[in-house]
């Protein structure tokens, strides 16, 4: 029990103990972003499929793409969800909207993913920002990272 408290899995409260997060099983820290440790919301999750059945979850396309850049060729596939329909899309085929005025995501710059370029264009018409392909997003984030040196 003391071990668990020290590890942060449970927290001592007045009434006894409270489970603060699940004890890791096969999949580790599935609810936490691999990059910034913030809570993952399924709608914004960005999944990186790695060799040996390892899956890393990032909280949003921003963290996901940075992580993918770090891992390089080790990433077998990256998956994200369409912001409007919640459908899973292969990140390399998705369209990304950056710098829109509608703030919904967790990280800055906020990056929203879309399956359909037309939807991304319509979103930009309504809320501003710019539509990028996967490759353009990757490059743009990398340049920003180098310049700002932080997430
Ligand atoms: Zn994150
Ligand atoms: Zn995020």
* CA of 88 relative to ligand 1 center, distance in Å: 18
What are the strands of the beta sheet with 95-98, ordered from one edge?
111-114, 95-98, 130-133
**pLDDT score recorded for residue 26:** 46
* Ligand 1 geometric centre to CA of 45 (Å): 9
pTM of full prediction above 0.85: no
Going from the Cα of 43 to the center of ligand 2, the distance in angstroms, rounded, reads: 11
Handedness of CA 83, 86, 92, 95 (dihedral sign): negative
**What integer pLDDT is reported at residue 29 of this predicted model?**
58
11-58: pLDDT as tens digits: 555 555 555 554 444 455 578 999 999 999 988 999 999 999 999 999
The model's pLDDT over 88-143, given as tens digits with 9 standing for 90+, comes to 999 999 999 999 998 887 898 899 999 999 999 999 999 999 999 999 999 998 78
pLDDT of res. 120: 98
Yes or no: say if 99 and 54 are a contact pair by the CB < 8 Å rule. Answer: no
Distance CA 58, CA 65 (A): 9
CA distances from 130 to 12, 28, 109 (A): 47, 35, 12
In this predicted structure, what is the pLDDT of residue 1? 43
Backbone angles phi, psi at 140, to 5 degrees: -65, -40
- State the pLDDT at residue 2: 46
- What distance in angstroms lies between residue 55's CA and the mean position of ligand 1's atoms? 15
- Name which of 89, 53, 48, 38 is nearest 71 in CA terms: 48
62 within 8 A of 112, measured Cβ to Cβ? no
């Amino acid at each position: 029990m003391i071990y668990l408290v020290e590890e942060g899995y449970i927290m001592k409260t007045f009434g006894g103990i409270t489970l603060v997060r699940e004890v890791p099983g096969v999949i580790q820290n599935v609810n936490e972003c691999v990059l910034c440790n913030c809570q993952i919301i399924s709608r914004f999750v960005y999944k990186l499929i790695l060799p040996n059945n390892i899956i890393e979850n990032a909280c949003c396309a921003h963290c996901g793409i940075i992580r993918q850049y770090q891992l390089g060729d080790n990433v077998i596939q990256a998956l994200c969800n369409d912001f409007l329909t919640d459908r899973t899309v292969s990140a390399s085929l998705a369209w990304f909207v950056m710098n829109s005025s509608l703030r919904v995501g967790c990280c800055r710059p906020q990056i929203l993913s879309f399956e359909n370029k037309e939807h991304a264009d319509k979103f930009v018409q309504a809320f501003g920002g710019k539509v990028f392909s996967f490759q353009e997003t990757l490059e743009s984030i990398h340049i920003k990272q180098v310049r700002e040196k932080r997430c």
